[in-house]
A and B are shown apart, each in its own frame.
Chain A
Amino acid sequence: MGRNGYFVVNKKGTGMMTQHDKITELSEIFEINASEIVPGKSLDSLRWDSMAMLSVIAMANEKCGKRISGAEIKKMRTIQDILDVLD
């Protein structure tokens, strides 16, 4: 709860993510081992469907307060593209 007893709309997110956090989150989203999350990996080689896109948007929003637009998410081609917006 924030000022006046109302909840605070969380615009800033909860803070920074370490590289380890990012890899862990992505391995859960794509359901593969963390060792397989390598920056150059093509998203086309993974299950990069609408659910995965929503999961990445949700993770960025919750874990580091970043808003990824529909246009941005659809331009992403590699794991690196996702890692970049989480910085």
Chain B
Amino acid sequence: MDVQAWTYLIVGLTFALYIGIAIWSRAGSTKEFYVAGAGVPPLANGMATAADWMSAASFISMAGLISFMGYDGSIYLMGWTGGYVLLALLLAPYLRKFGKFTVPDFVGDRYYSNAARTVAVICAIFVSFTYVAGQMRGVGVVFSRFLEVPINTGILIGMGIVFFYAVLGGMKGITYTQVAQYCVLIFAYMVPAIFISMYIAGTPIPQLGFGSELSDGSGFLLDKLDGLHSELGFSAYTDGSKPMIDVFFITFALMVGTAGLPHVIVRFFTVPKVRDARISAGWALVFIALLYTTAPAVAAFARYNLIDTVRDKGYTALAEDPKTQWFKTWEGTGLLAWTDKNEDGKIQYLGPKMNGGAAFKGKPSFAEGTGAEGQRLISNELTDNDNELYIDRDIMVLANPEIAGLPPWVIALVAAGGLAAALSTAAGLLLVISTSVAHDLIKKQINPDLNEKTEVLIARISVAFAVCIAGYFGINPPGFVAQVVAFAFGLAASSFFPVIIMGIFYKKMNKEGAIAGMLSGILFTAAYIIYFKFVNPAANNADNWLFGISPEGIGTVGMLINFAVSFIVAKITPAPPEDIQELVDSLRYPKGAGEASAH
């Protein structure tokens, strides 16, 4: 069987499995639809959380980004794991004790205000949409590469499948599907990682191979990589090139953002007890860490292998060698492109210090015909530096199995894993959006008399709209998959995290403070990002940034603004009513002061 057939088979089987689970566990009541009846065992919830949260960006793009960023890639590794410590320690147990369906529910009740609830709903919807667009793009990328359909068609197929999930299953269906999706995605990630670790470093454990000597005996992998980097004019792999302040702020924004993402928080409403909420955050991080400690190893292996393969090689030699056929394959998909600037027939891959940089402007657009060496011709405007090679970052994970010469079923497995990662996250996000609309907006604000059946129906209808909008952004994406997702984190960091923390740890925080804080935080962050990404992208460089903080890291500043504004406003406005302060007390004890005094 060839790769194509294997891919159809494995992807088909996994889809059948997910759909089977979704049908078996479809939701009837609102409690089942929104929080899976609060009956999910902590271990399963940890797994579902991991799948919910590890997105197409984690699976497809992250290792690629790290591969190109070297040390700077640590922002994603620490940023997307460290938030779970905050979740477990500062949020999950208390929100579980609170025992409602959504984050806006908490904000609305804790701040005794429908205005606060509305602001929270808008933030939740905004954050979730930003995030879900990246997932749709990821689905499109996987489909286009492995099933050979155009990216946009891939997105449409993905939309259809996600729609099916989220509409039918609600949280209950999604949770158990996500458990299966976690197993698929981690297996699909680990198998090629183990093989490539054996191939390059001679040990089956990628985390160790990362720090090992190369199997050809030419020294430690990371030392070799640093050497190659300096030879080709890149900054050392283990040093990175971002300013320290930016690394600090981006990492913080990602951590706090993780802890403020509504689709992550809501997962802790689905376990039976406060104790379960704590431990399931721990399990979630174990399952996440498995992929996250493997990713940087894969990044280093792939980077080394890529440089070693293409450096100063003749294009024809690469194209003819059966071991490097992947180069041609990926050129075919447009994720690689080569333009022979100095017409020597060899590939020059150079970094900034050797007069390198982007080989040409923008993403490759291919012209008719082939060049002198048989390469695909591009019609982009060339840049005046010496680098000739364009490499899309997403290629690192997608092409790894081929680069390591693995059998076709492994390549098919990666396709299934990428889809599992994208679909599980998309479904979780769409659920948050539909819950926000049906429960927080329509039930709580517009029509409190809504019966359960109608509420579930409305939730299902709003999923439909959400999928369409998400699909639109997937087809017209604002940046790399991982970067789009990074913005959602900034927005979550600057809106939810502070209000929830203060709602639990600062009894005197009142509604005026919370609303003013959320609004100022998210408006500042969104304005900064929109200015640099959409209004004036030409100015998006360190000279124009506030204190040298990039749009990716600005959520940290937004969060600080949120905290500061809330405090000041809370000091000059009336304290919250007595019963709210008692509510806060009851959140703090698993068994609860409120319950105890009622006996």
Chains A and B come from one and the same complex: no
Binding site for A on B (CB under 8 A): none
* Chain A residues packing against B (C-beta within 8 Å): none
